[in-house]
Structure 1
Amino acid sequence: MRQSFLFTSESVSEGHPDKVSDQISDAIVDLFLSKDSEARVACETLTTTQRVVLAGEIRGQGIMDTDGNWAEGVEQEIEDTVRGVVKDIGYAQDGFHWESLTFENHLHGQSAHIAQGVDASGNKDEGAGDQGIMFGFACDETPDLMPAPIDYSHKILERLAADRKSGHAAFLEPDSKSQVTLRYENGKPVACTAVVVSTQHAEGYDEGEKEEELHAYVKAVVADILPDGFVTEDTVWHINPTGSFVIGGPDGDAGLTGRKIIVDTYGGAAPHGGGAFSGKDPTKVDRSAAYITRHLAKNVVAAGLATRCTIQIAYAIGVSEPLSLYVDTHGTGTADDAAIEDAIRGMDKLGGLTPRGIRTYLGLNKPIYRQSAAYGHFGRTADGDLFPWERTDLASDLKAALG
C-alpha cells in the first residue's frame, strides 16, 4: 500500500435527483415491511421534472394478493409515502413540487419463478435473492471507522441540509454535491488539498455580496467538519464552479434508484460488488450481505485485529450457503487473515451467513431503510442509534476466538 498520496471521494445530498429516487424506493420498502416483515420488494424509482414513476416487483401479506390485486387503501398509502418523502426533502418548486407532481405506480407482483428459487420450502432453506459478490470495509481513519474522504464529504452535506431546514442557511436549496481531496502521509490523512461544493441556491446568490455570503458559509462548514489543521491556506476551493445553480434536483436532471453506489459505500477507497442497496428488501443479498461484511470488517478493526480490513462474500441465486468468504487486512493484521476467516465461519450467532441468518442476526426485517438512503449506508446512526450493521458488539467474540 502506498504511504504518501492524494485521494478524493464525493458525496451527494438528499436533494440530488438520484438520492431522491433512492429515498423514495426505500420508503416503499419501509412501508411494505411495516405491513409484512417478510415482504419481498424490488422497487425502482424514476424522478424527473414534475414526475415520479415507480416500477418493480413486490409480494406480501396485506399488500397485494396472489392475483395481483392491491389490498384496500395500499395504493393511496404508496402515493402518500412518495409525496411525503419529496416534501420532507424540501421540494416545493415549480419544476418539482411534492403536492402537484404527477405520480405513476407500475409496481406488480413478484415473478413466481424467482419466488420458487428463493423461498424456503420443505427441507430447503431460504436462498439468496440473486447471485453476486459483496464487499465490506473498515479502517481506523475516523471514529466511524470509515475512509476519511467519504466520511467528511457526507458530513459536509448533512450540515448543509440541517442548516437549510432550520433556516440558518435559508438561501440553500435541496440539491448539492461535495468532493474532498486529502493528502496522506505515512498512510494517514493529514491535510485537505481541495474541496468542491456545488449547492443549489436561491435567486441572486451567484453574484456580489450574496455570492460572497454563500462562499463564506460553505468554507466555515468545511472548516468545522474537517479536523483542526486540515484546511490551510494552500487548500484549493471550488464552490459552485459553474456559476448559477438555481435549477436543480429532478427538474435539472433525471434521477434513478441505484446510481450512487460508490457514494453509498466507501467513496472508491474499497471494492464494491456492483449491486445497489435501495429499493430492496433484506432477502436481497446485494443489501444484506453488504451490510454483514461491513459489520464484520468494522468489528475486526474495532477489535484491534487490523487497521484496515476488506471482506468479500459470494452467493448463488436460490442457494442459502455462501460460496466463499475472503478476508484481507492489507498487511495490517495482528492475526492471520485465514484465521480470521475461520473465526467468522465458526460463529454460530451469524447463522452460517445465510440470507436468513444475516437477517436474523442483524434484525433487518424492520422499516429502517429510508434513513439509510442518503449520506451513505455506513458510518452513520439512525434516530440517534447506530444502524445494526454499524455496531461493534462482535469485537469481543473475535478477540476471544483469535486469543
Structure 2
Amino acid sequence: MRKSFLFTSESVSEGHPDKVADQISDAVVDLFLSKDPYARIACETLTTTQRVVLAGEIRCKGVYENGEWAPGAKEEIEQAVRATVKRIGYEQEGFHWETFSFENHLHGQSSEIAQGVDAKDNKDEGAGDQGIMFGYASDETEDLMPATLDYSHKILEQLAHDRHNKVVDFLEPDAKSQVTLAYEDEKPVRATALVVSTQHAPGYFWHEGKGDADKYKKLYDHVVAVMHKVLPEGFITDETAIYVNPTGSFEIGGPDGDAGVTGRKIIVDTYGGASPHGGGAFSGKDPTKVDRSAAYISRYMAKNIVAAGLARRCTIQLSYAIGIAEPLSLYVDTHGTGTVADDKIEAVLPQLVRLTPRGIREHLGLNKPIYQKSAAYGHFGRKPEGDFFPWEKTDLADKLKAALA
C-alpha cells in the first residue's frame, strides 16, 4: 500500500437518468415487499425522453400470482413510478412525472429459477444467482467510508436539499460530482480537484463569452460554498482546482439528456473504486438475490471489523452458486492494518452471522420495503434509522472483539 497518493471518486444525484431508473426499480421492490415480504422481484427500468419502461420477472401475493395480475395492480405500480419521478422533481418538457409515456413489461419469474431458490422439505432456500460480492470499510471518515466517495455524495445531497427547500431557484435535478484527495501516510489531507456539473435553470451559464456571467457567478458561488460546507476545514486550499459546469451550459439533463438504465452506477453505489466490485447491481432486486443481500452483509461485517478496532481497512468477499444456500467462499483482507490475523477473522465470522440467503435476510431484517432510500447517494455510509440501512449498524463489533480476544 502506497503511503502518499491521489485518489478520486465520483457520485451522481438523484436526478441523474441512471439514478432515476434505480429509484423507480426500488420503488417497485418496496411496493411488492409492502404487500408480500417474500415477493420475488427483478425489475429493470429504462428512462429516456418522456418515457419510462419496466421489464423483469416477478412473483407477489396480491399483485401477480399464477401468471395473472391482481385487479388494480398495474395501476398501483404506475402510480408508484410517477410518484418517484415527482419526488425527484422532474416537471420539464422533456421529462415530466405527470405526462411521460409508461410501459410495464413485468412478467412471471422463471420456474427454473424458482425451483432452485425456494425452500422445500429439508432444503434451505438457495441463492438467487451465482456471483461474487464485496464489502469494504475504512476509518477515513466517521461513516467508515472512503473519503473521496463520502464527500462526493454529500456535496450532491446538499445541493438536492437546497433545491427541494428552495434555498436557490436555479438548480435542477441532474448533477454529478467528483472529488480528488491527496493522501499522506494513507490519510486524506487535502483536496486537489473538485468537480460539479449540475443541471440549471435557463441562462445560468457563462462559456467563451456566451451566457450571463452574473447568473453563472451565483451558481458557481453556491456550489463552492457547498463544497466548503461538506469538506473538512482546510481541505480546500488556493491550489485546489475547482470546476463547476466545465463544459458550459447544462440545461438539458436527466432522461431527456441521456437515457438511464437500472444498475449502471454500481461503483457510485458502493465504494467509489476504493474496493473491488463483483459486478452485480442492487436496485430492482429482492433480497433473495445475493447480488444485493450478500453485498450488504459483506459491508456489515467489514464495517464492524473496523468499528471494533480490529483493522483500519477491511475488504470482504463472498461467493455463491445459484440454488445453493451456503457460500462457496469467505475471504477477509485487512490490508496489513489488522490487529489479528485475517484467517482468524474468517473463522469467527460464520459463527456470528449465518451467511445463507435466509440467514442474511433474518439477521439484517431485509424482507421489508426499505430499499428506495438506498437508491441514491450510495447504499453504504448511511445512518441506520429504524428499519432502514440495517447493514450500517455496528452491533457486531463487541461480539467480534470478544470472540477474537
| Corresponding position of 1:191 | 190
Higher mean alpha-carbon deviation, 207-216 vs 47-56, is at 207-216
Matching of residues 314-333 of structure 1 within 5 Å: 314-333=319-338
| Corresponding position of 2:282 | 277
Gaps of 5+ in 1: none
| Corresponding position of 2:90 | 91
Distance 2:149 2:38 in 1: 33
| Corresponding position of 1:36 | 36
Number of corresponding residues: 399
Distance 1:157 1:32 in 2: 29
**Amino acid aligned to 1:226:** L
Q: Does 1:372 pair with 2:377?
A: no
Higher mean alpha-carbon deviation, 202-211 vs 41-50, is at 202-211
Q: TM-score, normalised by structure 1?
A: 0.98
| Corresponding position of 2:160 | 161
| Corresponding position of 2:2 | 2
For the 8 Å contact 1:14–1:20, the answer to whether it is kept is yes
| Corresponding position of 1:18 | 18
Q: TM-score, normalised by structure 2?
A: 0.98
Matching of residues 242-257 of structure 1 within 5 Å: 242-257=247-262
Distance 2:300 2:64 in 1: 34
**Amino acid aligned to 1:26:** D
Distance 2:328 2:243 in 1: 46
For the 8 Å contact 1:329–1:337, the answer to whether it is kept is yes
Matching of residues 25-174 of structure 1 within 5 Å: 25-66=25-66, 68-174=67-173
For the 8 Å contact 1:8–1:180, the answer to whether it is kept is yes
1:251-294 CA distance string (max 9 Å, x none): 00000000000000000000110000000000000000000000
**Amino acid aligned to 1:78:** I
Higher mean alpha-carbon deviation, 37-46 vs 71-80, is at 71-80
For the 8 Å contact 1:48–1:250, the answer to whether it is kept is yes
- Please give the secondary structure, in 1, of the residue aligned with 2:58: strand
- Please give the secondary structure, in 1, of the residue aligned with 2:325: coil
- Please give the secondary structure, in 2, of the residue aligned with 1:340: helix
- Please give the secondary structure, in 1, of the residue aligned with 2:68: coil
Distance 2:386 2:121 in 1: 41
| Corresponding position of 1:233 | 238
| 1:367–1:137 CA distance, 2 compared to 1 (3 A) | same
Q: Does 1:208 pair with 2:226?
A: no
| Corresponding position of 1:179 | 178
1:198-223 CA distance string (max 9 Å, x none): 00000110031010010000000001
Distance 2:33 2:246 in 1: 42
Distance 1:362 1:385 in 2: 9
Cα deviation, residue 384, structure 1? 7.6
| Corresponding position of 2:263 | 258
Gaps of 5+ in 2: 206-211
Distance 2:351 2:246 in 1: 53
**Amino acid aligned to 2:400:** L
**Percentage of matched positions with identical amino acids:** 72
1:52-87 CA distance string (max 9 Å, x none): 000000001111121x11111111100000000000
- Please give the secondary structure, in 2, of the residue aligned with 1:81: helix
For the 8 Å contact 1:131–1:316, the answer to whether it is kept is yes
| Corresponding position of 2:363 | 361
| 1:383–1:204 CA distance, 2 compared to 1 (3 A) | farther
| Corresponding position of 2:208 | none
Cα deviation, residue 20, structure 1? 0.0
For the 8 Å contact 2:384–2:392, the answer to whether it is kept is no
Cα deviation, residue 238, structure 1? 1.0
Distance 1:127 1:38 in 2: 14
For the 8 Å contact 1:380–1:386, the answer to whether it is kept is no
Distance 1:386 1:142 in 2: 21
For the 8 Å contact 2:220–2:244, the answer to whether it is kept is yes
Distance 2:393 2:64 in 1: 35
- Please give the secondary structure, in 1, of the residue aligned with 2:69: coil
Distance 1:154 1:74 in 2: 35
Cα deviation, residue 381, structure 1? 2.9
Distance 2:387 2:11 in 1: 22
- Please give the secondary structure, in 2, of the residue aligned with 1:360: helix
| Corresponding position of 1:401 | 403
1:215-253 CA distance string (max 9 Å, x none): 000000001100010000000011100101000000000
Query: Quick one: which of 306, 309, 326 aligns to 1:301?
Result: 306
- Please give the secondary structure, in 2, of the residue aligned with 1:338: helix
For the 8 Å contact 2:305–2:314, the answer to whether it is kept is yes
| Corresponding position of 1:313 | 318
Cα deviation, residue 89, structure 1? 0.1
For the 8 Å contact 2:17–2:259, the answer to whether it is kept is yes
**Amino acid aligned to 1:27:** A
**Amino acid aligned to 1:362:** L
Distance 1:89 1:307 in 2: 36
**Amino acid aligned to 2:168:** A
Cα deviation, residue 386, structure 1? 5.8
